[in-house]
Amino acid sequence: MSTNRNKNRRQLPPLNALRAFEAVARFLSFTKAADELLVTQSAVSRQVKNLEDILGVALILRKAQLELTEEGKRLLPVLTDSFDRMDGIIGSFRRQSKKPPLSLAVPPTFARRVLLPRLPEFQRANPDLEIRLETPPVNPDFRNSGHDLAILFGEIEADGLIADVLMRERSSPLCAPDLFKKSAWPDVKTMIAKAPLLHIRQGNDSWHDWRMLARQVGFAGVPVERGVVVETADQAVQVALSGGGVTEVDPRLCADEVKSGQLVAPFDISIMTGRTYTLVCRPDETDLARIAAFREWALGALVESNIADAPEPKAP
């Protein structure tokens, strides 16, 4: 009997190693995988190397741009499908439990600069509700995730979901006043052509937003492929505050810095990017008390008409 059990035992590598590889392979990035798994980049790298040692094959080619080996390509869809199915089933258990927590997925910058400062108001109205907030670096696959609600950022397709637009992105160039005074750009074109630019990664095109700005002000041919690329608007704001460059963000995401004069606008420019912050939930779950409560609160507290506009940023 014992011998048969041993023969039928699954010979699987450690779950953490499989999760690390799946995240790295999906993003083709150790950094993004570490952000999603809430561990360090070195920890993710060690887990993937451990998995390769256990399996005896290479799964990832560590080049300037990560590539999957044939073995990695075979393993990735199996792991992704398995984790998605587990996440969906476990999420359904949580939603059916007597007092389940409210599970939210929110973009990192929107969470830190818009949601979290206002969240105590919701907590005071719902003191017995446990809230679990996640800030994934990219939009989650909400239809297959265990989240109750999510705020998605970008040009959102929400077929089959209840979708409420909270805020339409309106971006402006912003920088530290000392950088503006020192540089003394005579016009917008010179600023775009010569300023140290800060870019927020958007998909595979790190330069997209500055190209959009240049095109909309009539300088489509001005090169923008230089400067620092960061993962979030919050990181771009921090670099700009230190004098490291000109960022292009929605001033409502850094209202305090604009109001205090820590960030100024080199020129009076503002563009609508077409991206939105959109609250989504599943249509068959809108009557669940915790979801209904947060949605009702968010549609009052987080819509752009109730998010105080930052003072118009001006150059000193």
Residue 246's pLDDT is 97
Domain(s) of CATH 3.40.190.290: residues in the chain: 101-316
Looking at domain 2-93, its CATH class is mainly alpha
Residue 309: band (very low, low, confident or very high) from pLDDT cuts 50, 70, 90: low
Residue 22's pLDDT is 95
Residue 36's pLDDT is 84
> Which among 134, 122, 125, 127 has a CA at the least distance from the CA of 99?
127
Q: Are 199 and 207 in contact (CB under 8 A)?
A: yes
Give the pLDDT confidence of 36-74 residue by residue, as tens digits: 887 788 889 999 999 999 999 999 999 888 999 999 999
Residue 207's pLDDT is 86
Encoded tokens for 186: 């005579």
CATH for 101-316, among 3.40.50.300, 3.40.190.290, 3.40.190.10, 1.10.287.610? 3.40.190.290
Domain(s) of CATH 1.10.10.10: residues in the chain: 2-93
pLDDT above 70: percentage of residues in the chain:
91
What is the rounded average pLDDT of the residues 195-215?
Answer: 87
Residue 2's pLDDT is 47
The model's pTM is 0.66
What is the rounded average pLDDT of the residues 240-249?
Answer: 95
Residue 12's pLDDT is 86
Give the pLDDT confidence of 205-214 residue by residue, as tens digits: 788 899 999 9
